[in-house]
């Protein structure tokens, strides 16, 4: 698939790969060890144009298509998943719903500042009792004297607690529609009283990404902070997740590519019984399987991106891409560790981090089990 891409995509891939290799890779192991989200690195990513990739030029964005954005995430994840998660969550989940559903005033006030790396925005769906069951949201927002009064909590939220985290698109219960909750998306800036974040530590994966628990204690925001229409929140969140799933698929693809390249290089250098282990059938069969899976994953993902860029339905393909790419990441990372042997279990080798980071991809933005349900429903229509 890559060989058939327009030259502009190849040039863009080269540009992002050079940035990832020169700026992200040298600090990846240390940031992972310290569990440190680097604001400095986020700002460098902003300077490199990795925020607002698909936003229009007149709003401060890069004006690129979705495939370009996916290639950018793929190339960053090829080196380190934590900054790739920062880019994916901010672009797909932070900026996209504001651009797609915001008023002109909301867009002008928020989007330009979110394209620079000086501010990040979060997506508030997941709660203690709301994840796969997205309608299980318990955070409430009551309209009192022209203000939304928000109470509740969110968890596992990316780009939520650092010094440059500036707010969240908050899904909250704003009433009842018969026996069902009325769910509304509300833009909630961080500077309002009662807004609290607690960084998550001791994570298996994404140890240098900014993930947090959030609480809202009588947070008051103006009525005009509603995103879209009242009661439209569930639709907004789910439509946002379709595009977000492509970004998680890209993380899986990039991680698999990086793990494969490391395993391939190691197999050529590591000698046993007087020759490189790449010459043994047990190893080169593994490499052949890994390369094939990556090629199929890339074809599946890029096809979904082409559909999205063409304005065609892509929800089923997004679910397929996310499910398959995350599975390929798991399988390739596991085989990479096997090829490295004991050396792959040491933190000084990047492949060890890749093995840990892949595990979230089968959970976040739709578990593999939920995605199978999504795909089956499309097929049974």
Active-site positions read 365
Cβ distance 203 to 356 under 8 Å?
no
Q: 51: part of which helix (H) or strand (E)?
A: none
By DSSP bridging, strand 165-177 and strand 120-124 are parallel
Q: For the packed helices 66-77 and 7-19, what is the interaxial angle rounded to 10 degrees?
A: 30
Cβ distance 190 to 165 under 8 Å?
yes
Burial of 334 from C-beta contacts in 10 A (0-12 / 13-18 / 19+): middle
Number of C-beta neighbours around residue 294 at 10 A? 22
Per-residue DSSP letters for 143-172? EETTEEEEEEEEEEEET-SSTTEEEEEEEE
- Please tell me the distance from the alpha carbon of residue 174 to that of residue 142, in angstroms, as a whole number: 6
Cβ distance 67 to 189 under 8 Å?
no
Q: 327: part of which helix (H) or strand (E)?
A: helix 315-340
Q: 26: part of which helix (H) or strand (E)?
A: helix 25-34
Cα 22–Cα 23–Cα 27 angle in degrees, nearest 5: 110
Residue corresponding to tokens 């370009």: 68
């Amino acid at each position: 698939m890559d060989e058939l891409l327009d030259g502009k995509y190849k040039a863009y891939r080269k540009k992002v790969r050079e940035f990832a290799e020169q700026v992200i890779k040298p600090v990846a192991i240390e940031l992972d060890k310290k569990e440190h989200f680097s604001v400095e690195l986020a700002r460098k990513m902003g300077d490199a144009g990795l925020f607002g990739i698909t936003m229009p030029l007149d709003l401060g964005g890069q004006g690129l298509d979705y495939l370009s954005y996916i290639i950018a995430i793929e190339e960053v994840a090829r080196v380190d998943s934590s900054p790739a998660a920062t880019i994916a969550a901010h672009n797909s989940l932070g900026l996209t719903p504001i651009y797609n559903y915001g008023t002109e005033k909301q867009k002008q006030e928020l989007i330009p500042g979110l394209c620079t790396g000086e501010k990040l925005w979060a997506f508030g769906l997941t709660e203690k009792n709301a994840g796969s069951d997205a309608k299980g949201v318990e955070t409430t927002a009551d309209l009192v004297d022209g203000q939304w009064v928000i109470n509740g909590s969110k968890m596992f939220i990316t780009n939520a607690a650092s010094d440059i985290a500036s707010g969240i698109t908050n899904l909250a219960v704003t009433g009842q529609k018969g026996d069902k909750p009325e769910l509304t998306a509300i833009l909630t800036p961080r500077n309002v009283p009662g807004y609290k974040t607690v960084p998550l530590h001791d994570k298996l994966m994404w140890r240098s990404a900014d993930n947090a628990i959030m609480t809202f204690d009588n947070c008051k925001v103006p009525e005009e902070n509603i995103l879209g229409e009242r009661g439209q929140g569930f639709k907004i969140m789910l439509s946002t997740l379709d595009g977000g799933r492509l970004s998680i698929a890209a993380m899986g693809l990039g991680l698999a590519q990086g793990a494969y390249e490391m395993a391939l290089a190691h197999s050529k250098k590591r000698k046993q019984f007087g020759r490189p282990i790449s010459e043994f059938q047990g190893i080169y069969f593994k490499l052949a399987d890994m390369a094939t899976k990556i090629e199929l994953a890339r074809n599946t993902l890029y096809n979904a991106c082409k559909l999205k860029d063409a304005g065609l339905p892509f929800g089923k393909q997004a679910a397929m891409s996310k499910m398959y790419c995350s599975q390929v990441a798991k399988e390739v990372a596991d085989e990479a560790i096997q090829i490295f042997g004991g050396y792959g279990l040491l933190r000084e080798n990047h492949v060890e981090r890749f093995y840990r980071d892949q595990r979230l991809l089968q959970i976040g933005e739709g578990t593999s089990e939920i995605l199978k349900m999504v795909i089956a429903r499309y097929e049974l229509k």
